[in-house]
Structure 1
Amino acid sequence: MARITALAGGVAAVLVLLAIPLLAAPAAAHNHPSGITDLVTPAVVRVEAVSHVEITLLDHIGELKHVERSYDLPFASGTGAVVNPEGDVVTLRRNAVNPDDVAIYAANKIFAEHHKVKIPLDYKKHTLKDDQLNHHLQECYPPKTSTATCIIDVTTDITVFPNVSPPSTGLKYKCIKAGKTPDTPAVLVPLTPAAGSVGMPTAPLADKVPDQEGSPTNVAGFTGRPGPGVQETVQIAHLAKGGQAGATGRPFADPEKKVDEPVKLGALVDQGLAGAPVIGDKDGHVIGLLIGGGKEATMLGVREITATLAAAKVAPRRGAIDTAFEAALTRYHTKYYTEAAPGFQRVLELYPGNVVAATLLKTSLAKRGGPEDQGTKQAVAPLSRSTPIWPFLVAAGVLFIAAGGGVYLLWRRRAPDRPAELPEPLAAAPPFDDAGSQTVVVRRSQPFQMVPQQQQVMTAPDTPPVKYCTSCGMRLGPAHRFCGYCGHPIET
């Protein structure tokens, strides 16, 4: 009986324990909340490009001289996004390829400095009044000939500044593929491998541009080199109807017509957000790059980006840093701050400079165990409106009662045989003798009967006499000294 009771109690306890995880378990992973940019901003980088010119002027006027100069001509500053752990970056051609012929600028500058003549310092070819100097100037301009008076070597230095703390001094890159116009994609690769065994954070690329008019997006980029005084700039924008994801891009328009989004975004392009990733509001993936400038800005679609990456044989993919960061980010945005904090700490172990992870870790630690922490709420109040516990408790109670009933029935089945029902006393039976043996009335479901003390029943000669308890009437064994049912002694 004890074993069966324990089994019933154990099953009931299991039901209650099964209910607790359902109530206390945190919400399952889901799409990130609307407007999230955190998946992309760790991979947003500042891109700066400089044309470096080495020029030697061969002065044939008078005594032969070699005049050497070097000039650094910054021509672009914009934004890009890392697309794989190796550190490969996608941006715009204008951020990587100088559209001007810096050799012409260098020729104008060295002639003006050495010969003390007035020549505009620009990218146009000019003439001088002095025929001899003018001849030498024209021979200095590219293209190079056998009679050239200048030897010019032009290289492009591209520096990428990741979003890290402390601020990076910059990583050297080169452009391996670019479109034909300034607002087409360009692919940059580092001259040295990315530091660390797991590489850099990456930005996930979407499959396509949303078709719906008014689809909300976010634009994230840098107006300067990332650092304590320059954080990423994030602006909300909406895709307008029409336009193709191509050279002209997809237009922007505020569906409520409260903000002139092309003008607002065009100003951001001029401030350094050219090539900034446009982030879809649905899942936080990159759907394009910001292009344009002035009073007009549009979006270059993601299909043009992936086509250029394929032509450059660069495969966009996510890495170990991204996996750890996205897991922690899911906990953070569902307000499970206690669980999010170790995740962000792991991200910082993999990539110590991650500014976004460090900021979110600080917030998680500040809110850990507080009133907003959903993990703490579940631990303090396991009852949930969405999953009430009372059905489990009722089921456990029913199971316990059923098990108890089974135990009782089993006990009744194993109980000793009850005495055979005796006939009721005859109406003409003589009255009881006060001096005789005492009789006991036993109350049962059967009619009352009176059993004399140690009444003997005639049996066969070889069968021992059958005895009954004088207290309860139960049948006694031949060797019993006490009643097995009530414990009354047999000999009284």
Structure 2
Amino acid sequence: MRRLAVPGVAVGLVLMSVPAAQAHDHPAGITDLVTPAVVRVEAKALINITLLDHVGELLHIERSYEVPIGVGTGTVVNPDGTLVTLTQVVNTDKDLATYAANKVFGDYHKVDIPADFGRHKVDDETLNHHLQLCYDLKSKMSTCIVDIQQDITVFPNITPADGRGFKAEVVKLGDRPDTPAVLRPSSRADGGVGLPTAPLAEKVPSKPGSPTAVAGFLGRPGPNQSIKLDIAHLGPGAAGEGGRSFSDPQKKADEPVKLGKLIDQGMLGAPVIGDKDGHVIGLLVGGGNTAKMIGAREITSALAVAKTPARRGTVDAAFEAALTRFHTKNYTDAVPLFQRVLALYPGQPVAAAHLQESLAKKGTAADLGVRKAPPPQTTKIPLWPFIAGAALVLALTAGLALLLWRRRRAALYEEEPEEMPQQELNLAARPPDDGASPTVMVRRSQTFPVVPTQQPQPQPVMTAQQTAQTQLKFCTSCGMKLGPAHRFCGYCGHPIET
């Protein structure tokens, strides 16, 4: 399939509007997921026949004919181009070889034979004998050699329309005309990233009157032939062998007749789209004054037998993200997303139409994207929690230091004194002597090193009154001599009793 670039300006709107009287039954955009994957399918037979003329001189007369098989609508379900339609769109039970025999015999022998699919007789016995042998291709005496090839062309839903399309071949046919057929491209159709696909529903709504939509082509896509959309409602019951019927609960329209006419015009096999989530719930079958739907389970079963399961692709993921912004009126964010879809798959018609609308509404009062979030505000963090925290840490540190200091001091006072040397004990027990040698202060060797005091200067002779005032004192704990201003013993630290 040729991939055509889409101009950035002037992309035609391809979606037809839903009648206003019934629009309230169907939310806007419910068909957006499916319509990009809807395609036109045209099938024909290419017949090459060789007539072996034995009437006169032996001659080989070769002719080629094209016989239409069917036209209808298909739905792409895999990015590689795999699609589903109805069996009767691409296959016929008519005798194509008989048609070719009638044509070549009538043209060459100039006899009046209808150009149809039935076997006929002619008045001339010799010619009639040769004609009947031409019909009987399995006979060793057959006068005709026939080669029939199927030719299927798929026209995708793109803008501008692709008049050439791409070729497809049958992967699986159904056992009845109104059962699904699976096709796949026989020539390149994906353009590198894959075709848009339609999501398949897991089940069909059971409630009678459930609203649906149908989408298809009444002719080959072109400037004057866009996709056709219409609405319908499911009838009561389940989809049996003949399919699920349609019925308008409000009796505004005879939906089987309305849809039957659309089927005859080219919507045979068109996807039926559920109103709940926009997924394909079945395919349109019937014609004339009747229309029914075969369900999604028959589609998935046919795909499973063909070993080509339904799958979504890169284009679909980008498109769904864009649709989410568009249908929530976030046109600012929708614009670049639709542009990405068109970059991946140029010509995607729904993306092109929605991009035009998004560009027109971007930044206007209708655009919720410009006011979806308030402008960022600068948050000022106050400094007082940090100051308070620092002060608390400082206070805890000071309190802990004070507590440790007090504990060390208390432990210092409670320590037992070291045993005094015998010489020092004798000196302590000796009565005071004013003429004795100067007093030597002995302290604990570990905590307070023993430091001899300086020899005092000679004191003047004191009177009796002065002597009484300067009476010597001794420690009641260790017996060491105390000075008049001492409040604690210099040796053992015992307080002086008053």
Structure 1 segment 110-259 matched on structure 2, within 5 A: 110-168=104-162, 169-242=164-237, 244-259=238-253
Contact 2:234 2:245 in 1 (8 A): yes
Name the counterpart of 2:263.
Answer: 269
1:161 maps to amino acid: F
Contact 2:81 2:190 in 1 (8 A): no
| 1:38 matched to 2:32 | yes
2:220 maps to amino acid: R
| 1:61 matched to 2:55 | yes
Name the counterpart of 2:308.
Answer: 314
Deviations 1:180-204 (A, max 9, x none): 2111100001113433331111010
Q: Aligned partners of 2:215, 2:111: CA distance in 1, in Å?
A: 46
| 1:301 matched to 2:292 | no
1:310 maps to amino acid: A
Q: Aligned partners of 1:165, 1:58: CA distance in 2, in Å?
A: 49
Deviations 1:200-223 (A, max 9, x none): 110100001111111111100011
Q: Aligned partners of 2:267, 2:199: CA distance in 1, in Å?
A: 19
Q: Aligned partners of 1:404, 1:195: CA distance in 2, in Å?
A: 63
Q: Aligned partners of 2:136, 2:382: CA distance in 1, in Å?
A: 97
Deviations 1:5-37 (A, max 9, x none): xxxxxxxxxxxxxxxxxxxxxxxxxxx956610
Q: Aligned partners of 1:131, 1:314: CA distance in 2, in Å?
A: 53
Name the counterpart of 2:465.
Answer: none
| Superposed displacement of residue 246, structure 1 | 4.0
2:256 maps to amino acid: P
| Superposed displacement of residue 405, structure 1 | 12
Contact 2:33 2:199 in 1 (8 A): yes
Name the counterpart of 1:108.
Answer: 102
1:375 maps to amino acid: G
| 1:283 matched to 2:283 | no
1:88 maps to amino acid: T
1:213 maps to amino acid: P
Contact 1:39 1:203 in 2 (8 A): yes
| Superposed displacement of residue 131, structure 1 | 0.9
Identity of aligned residues (%): 59
CA RMSD of aligned residues (A): 2.5
Contact 1:45 1:82 in 2 (8 A): yes
Q: What SS does the aligned partner of 2:152 have? A: strand
Deviations 1:12-67 (A, max 9, x none): xxxxxxxxxxxxxxxxxxxx956610100110000000111000111111111111
1:315 maps to amino acid: P
TM-score, with structure 2 as normaliser? 0.70
Contact 1:86 1:199 in 2 (8 A): yes
Task: Give 5+ residue unaligned stretches, structure 1.
Answer: 1-31, 384-391, 414-492
1:188 maps to amino acid: L
- Runs of 4+ aligned residues of structure 1 deviating over 4 Å after TM superposition are 32-35, 399-407
Q: What SS does the aligned partner of 2:170 have? A: strand
Name the counterpart of 1:416.
Answer: none
Contact 1:245 1:303 in 2 (8 A): no
Contact 2:32 2:350 in 1 (8 A): yes
Structure exhibiting the larger radius of gyration computed from Cα positions: 2
Question: What is the aligned residue count?
Answer: 366
Q: 1:48 aligns with which of 35, 42, 47?
A: 42
Contact 1:40 1:284 in 2 (8 A): yes
Q: 2:254 aligns with which of 248, 257, 260?
A: 260
